[in-house]
C-alpha cells in the first residue's frame, strides 16, 4: 500500500471543507479554532475520512474514544443546536462540563495512517 503523505491529507481537508488555498493547513491546524469545523460537520468529516481512505476510526463499542484517546467527558467537537447554549441541561445533572479537545489536522492524519497500517513520522511531518 502506498504511503499517505500529509500534503495529500491536507488536500483532502481543503477539498472537503472548501478551505481557501491561501490559508495554510498544517499538522497543528485546529479544526474548530482555525477552520471553523465543529459539531455535526466534524462528525461528517470523520465519516468522509473513513470512506476516502478506506479505514475505520472507531469500533461499535467505543466509537472514536479509543482511537483518539478521549477521556470519559472529552470530545473532539462542540455540539450544535440547543446543547451549545450557556444553559446546558446536562450541567443540571452532571457535575463535570464536557471538555472539547483542541483537535488538530495532524491528529486525524496520524489516526488515518495508523488505521491504514502506515503510522510513523516521515521527514517534515509531525506525529501526534
Closest by alpha carbon to 31, among 99, 77, 71, 84?
77
Tell me the average pLDDT across 86-103: 66
Closest by alpha carbon to 68, among 6, 128, 8?
128
Structure confidence at residue 119 (pLDDT): 52
> How many residues can be counted in the chain?
128
Angle, in degrees to the nearest 10, between helices 39-53 and 6-17 = 130
pTM check: above 0.75: yes
Residue 94 has pLDDT above 70, yes or no: no
Residue 102 has pLDDT above 60, yes or no: yes
Amino acid at each position: 500500500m502506498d504511503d499517505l503523505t500529509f500534503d495529500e491529507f491536507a488536500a483532502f481537508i481543503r477539498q472537503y471543507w472548501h478551505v481557501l488555498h491561501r490559508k495554510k493547513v498544517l499538522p497543528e491546524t485546529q479544526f474548530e479554532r482555525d477552520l471553523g469545523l465543529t459539531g455535526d460537520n466534524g462528525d461528517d468529516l470523520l465519516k468522509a475520512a473513513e470512506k476516502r481512505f478506506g479505514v475505520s476510526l472507531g469500533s461499535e463499542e467505543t466509537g472514536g474514544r479509543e482511537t483518539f484517546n478521549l477521556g470519559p467527558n472529552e470530545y473532539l467537537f462542540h455540539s450544535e443546536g440547543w446543547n451549545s447554549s450557556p444553559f446546558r441541561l446536562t450541567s443540571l445533572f452532571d457535575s463535570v462540563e464536557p471538555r472539547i479537545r483542541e483537535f488538530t489536522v495532524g491528529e486525524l492524519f496520524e489516526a488515518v495512517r495508523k488505521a491504514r497500517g502506515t503510522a510513523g513520522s516521515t521527514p517534515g511531518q509531525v506525529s501526534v
